[in-house]
Structure formats: structure tokens, C-alpha cells
Amino acid sequence: MKFFLLLFALSLALNANIVLPETFTTDFEQTITNDKGKVIKYEGRVLFKNIKEILSTPEGGDETHTRSLFKWSYTAPTQKEVCTNGVELTVVDHDLEQVSHYLIDEGIDLEQVLKLAQPLTKTDYKATYKDIEYLITMDRNQHLKKIVYVDSLDNKVKIIFNNMSYNSSVKEQELECHAPSEYDIIEG
């Protein structure tokens, strides 16, 4: 489950070299290889949206806060939806007919990863965050193309993004996970 937490607790921001949009949609292919060489391949679609909110401060002023919302819809080899706001994670496993809710405490903070990213080439970047090294590849249009890292369980993780559409129309409701009421609920 840690690799899910690592993937879905992403909160995005801007970096001087890596610029991510307010919204994006993309297909993805995720490959996870464990330390024994067993490979699991997933594919699906990702929706992302940054939501800007004005919050009142205790001093009586206002402060702008950004929430990053993600929805990963897995289509193969299993039917699953994973939704996160960077604090909470909801997993709807349609094959198991269950919904799991988690508070995220050990997720990747992509904002920090991107702030630490150092260019290796025109499209490749490297960052080390919480003792994990991330290799980030952008396409020729500077759109996110690939993220590769080894997670805390020594799994090699590679995520390739295809058909990336920056600043696409993404409604907040589309980022919510939905499950039939008869699914089992698991609180994590």
C-alpha cells in the first residue's frame, strides 16, 4: 500500500524550471518491479486540479492556500479509483467491492521534489527527497512525461504519462471517488 500512498499523495506546485498547470488529464502506465524481479503493470487515467482557497488567518487577514486534487482511475489489470487531496486518500476497489479511507502521513510531496529538482539535461531532472531519488522527465513541450524512483520497500516504480493535456477542463466533482452503497467500508 505504501506505493499507492507515495503516488497519490502528490501535491503539485510550480518550479522555476518545471512548470505544472492548474489542471491536467493524462493516461498513465505504471510499472512496479520488486526486489525479486516480479513486475506488475497498471494502466489508467489521471485527473488533476489545483484548487485555490482564501483562508482567514487568526490575525484577521486572509491567506491563499492551494489544495491539489488527484484521481487515478485504474483500468488494468484491476478496476480501481484512487482519489486524494494530499491529506486523505480514498481507494475504491471495484473488484473487491470495497472502499478504503486513509490519512496520508508518508506520502511524496511533489511540490518539494520539484523545488529540489536539478536539471540533468533539457528535459531530465533529478531530485532527492526523504532519502528517495526521483528522476523526472518532461517532454519537448515541458509537460510531465515520466517519473522513476525506488520506493521505501525497494520497489522500482516507473510512471509514464501519455496523451497529456495541460489546462484541460476538470471539474472538482470529477475528482471524487464514487462507489455503490453496498461496498464494504474500511477505515485505515
* CB-based contact 134:144 (threshold 8 Å): no
pLDDT of residue 87: 78
Range of weakest confidence among 33-37, 108-112, 118-122, 178-182: 108-112
Q: Which residues contact 158 (CB under 8 A, 6 or more apart)?
A: 30, 31, 146, 147, 148
* CB-based contact 158:146 (threshold 8 Å): yes
pLDDT digits (tens, 9 = 90+) for 77-99: 999 999 988 778 899 999 999 99
pLDDT band at residue 152 under the 50/70/90 scheme: confident
Q: Which residues contact 143 (CB under 8 A, 6 or more apart)?
A: 24, 161, 164, 166
pLDDT of residue 103: 82
All domains of the chain in start order, with CATH: 2-178 (2.50.20.10)
Q: Which residues contact 24 (CB under 8 A, 6 or more apart)?
A: 46, 47, 48, 143, 144, 164, 165, 166, 167, 168, 170
Alpha-carbon distance of 149 to 127, in angstroms, equals 10
Is it the case that residue 9 has pLDDT exceeding 50? no
pLDDT of residue 80: 95
- What residue type is 45 in one-letter code? R
DSSP summary character for residue 20 = -
CA atoms lying within 13 Å on the CB side of residue 80: 18
| Cβ atoms within 10 Å, residue 60 | 6
Output 93 or 68, whichever has higher pLDDT. Answer: 93
Question: What residues pair up with 16 in beta bridges, in sequence order?
Answer: none
pLDDT band at residue 2 under the 50/70/90 scheme: very low
The closest alpha carbon to 46, from 170, 179, 178, belongs to 170
Output 101 or 87, whichever has higher pLDDT. Answer: 101
pLDDT of residue 115: 74
Alpha-carbon distance of 102 to 111, in angstroms, equals 21
